[in-house]
């Protein structure tokens, strides 16, 4: 019994020693809510005509440019996928390897080998197109990955998957050749 009374006394002491919280008086003042003026955002998605061509006079990589290159890349990708599917389908249908003539079999094998290499190149190109589409989303499309300088509209029109400026691309290829020679 004596133990419980000691515990009760200790608890009572602790309770009495608890620090009382200071009372805080909250004064509410009317607060003016100011909304910062935002730049006018485009209403809905930007639409461009089929005949639209990016111009040097427009701001580099403005929304119109991004929409134009996105559409160009997506159309290019659709064409490549369609061509690959047709080539694979037609390649599987045209089978001269069954031929009795060894020369015909060798010729057929060579043709298929060349065709498969072309398909593999196109698959790599589709991968590059996907990366370019991601760069458009990230707002890094049209700028060199090495120097962050604008690649240029003419270069992008010629090669929409370009990642480097001409100077950076030449340096990149030179470095690649040096490492290949080792």
pTM across the whole model: 0.67
Q: Measured between alpha carbons, how far is 70 from 61 in angstroms, rounded to an integer?
A: 12
Q: Which range scores top for mean pLDDT: 90-94, 108-112, 147-151? A: 147-151
Question: What pLDDT shows up at residue 11?
Answer: 45
Question: What pLDDT shows up at residue 40?
Answer: 53
Question: What pLDDT shows up at residue 25?
Answer: 55
Question: What pLDDT shows up at residue 27?
Answer: 56
Say which DSSP state 44 is in: S
Q: What is the mean pLDDT of residues 138-156?
A: 94
Say which DSSP state 43 is in: S
Does 58-96+108-182 carry CATH code 1.10.3080.10?
Answer: no
Q: Which range scores top for mean pLDDT: 39-48, 95-104, 106-115? A: 106-115
Confidence of residue 153 (pLDDT cuts 50, 70, 90): very high
Question: What pLDDT shows up at residue 109?
Answer: 86
Q: Is 172 or 92 the better-scoring residue by pLDDT?
A: 172
Q: What is the tens place of the pLDDT at every residue in 17-37?
A: 544 555 555 555 555 555 555
Three-state secondary-structure class, residue 132:
helix
Q: What is the mean pLDDT of residues 69-94?
A: 87
Q: Is 122 or 48 the better-scoring residue by pLDDT?
A: 122
Q: Measured between alpha carbons, how far is 69 from 156 in angstroms, rounded to an integer?
A: 8
Write the CB contacts of 69 (distance below 8 Å, at least 6 apart in sequence): 54, 132, 136, 141, 142, 156, 160
The answer to whether the beta carbons of residues 138 and 99 sit under 8 Å apart is no
Confidence of residue 119 (pLDDT cuts 50, 70, 90): very high
């Amino acid at each position: 019994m004596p133990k419980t009374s000691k515990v009760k006394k200790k608890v009572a002491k602790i309770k009495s020693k608890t620090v009382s919280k200071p009372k805080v008086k909250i004064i509410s003042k009317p607060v003016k809510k100011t909304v910062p003026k935002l730049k006018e955002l485009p209403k809905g998605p930007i639409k461009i005509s089929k005949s639209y061509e990016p111009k040097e006079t427009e701001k580099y990589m403005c929304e119109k440019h991004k929409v134009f290159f996105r559409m160009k890349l997506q159309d290019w990708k659709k064409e490549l996928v369609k061509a690959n599917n047709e080539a694979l389908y037609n390649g599987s249908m045209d089978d001269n390897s069954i031929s009795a003539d060894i020369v015909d079999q060798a010729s057929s094998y060579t043709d298929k080998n060349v065709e498969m290499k072309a398909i593999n190149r196109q698959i790599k190109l589709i991968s590059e197109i996907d990366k370019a589409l991601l760069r458009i989303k990230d707002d890094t499309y049209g700028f060199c990955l090495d120097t962050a300088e604008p690649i240029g509209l003419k270069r992008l029109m010629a090669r929409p998957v370009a990642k480097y400026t001409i100077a950076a691309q030449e340096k990149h290829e030179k470095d690649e050749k040096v490492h290949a020679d080792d």
